[in-house]
């Protein structure tokens, strides 16, 4: 199952509570996805290997995708972390995101399902 599908499915099972990557549990977008597939978020190895710029104009260097997803959910969807992050200067944007916007963004960056878990061969371009 792709991460975008798993977040949507998990959102029907759990309340939207901001989550911390370091504290596993039923919270955050990744917690929702974990509940949907019954596995940890390492189920999607690209979350650690793919580095992405935050799409929300907050001042981050490109980070592993897992951190970006957690930031978007905690600060722009659930907004529970917004005030504490703003005080630390980590959030420069008041953008509000819906869960659907977050899922659309995940869909735009996640690998095709065939590439999840094993590497697809590169297309021949010669």
Least gap, CB of 77 to Zn ion (angstroms):
10
Nearest residue (CB) to Zn ion, 26 versus 95: 95
To which residue do tokens 């897992």 refer? 66
Phi, psi of 102 (to 5 degrees): -60, -45
Main-chain dihedrals φ then ψ at residue 60, nearest 5 degrees = -105, 140
Shortest CB 126 distance to Zn ion, Å: 41
Nearer to Zn ion, 27 or 56 (CB): 56
29 binds Zn ion, rule: CB under 5 A: no
Report the half-sphere exposure of 8 (CA within 13 A, side-chain side): 13
33 binds Zn ion (CB under 5 A): no
How many Å apart are CA 41 and CA 82, to the nearest integer?
A: 23
Task: Please tell me whether residue 52 adopts helix, strand or coil conformation.
Answer: strand
* Interaction residues for Zn ion, span 54-93 (CB under 5 A): 56, 58
Question: By C-beta, is 35 or 76 nearer to Zn ion?
Answer: 76
CB of 25 to Zn ion, least distance (A): 22
- The residue ranges that bind Zn ion (CB under 5 A) are 56, 58
């Amino acid at each position: 199952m792709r991460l975008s599908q798993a977040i949507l499915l998990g959102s029907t099972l759990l309340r939207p509570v901001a989550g911390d990557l370091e504290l596993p549990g039923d919270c955050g977008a990744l917690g929702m996805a974990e509940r949907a597939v019954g596995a940890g978020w390492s189920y999607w190895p690209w979350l650690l290997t793919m580095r992405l710029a935050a799409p929300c104009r907050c001042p981050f260097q490109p980070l592993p995708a897992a951190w970006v997803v957690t930031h978007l959910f905690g600060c722009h969807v659930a907004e529970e972390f917004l005030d504490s992050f703003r005080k630390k200067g980590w959030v420069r944007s008041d953008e509000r995101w819906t869960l659907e916007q977050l899922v659309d963004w995940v869909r735009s960056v996640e690998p095709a399902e065939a590439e999840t878990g094993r590497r697809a061969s590169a297309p021949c371009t010669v």
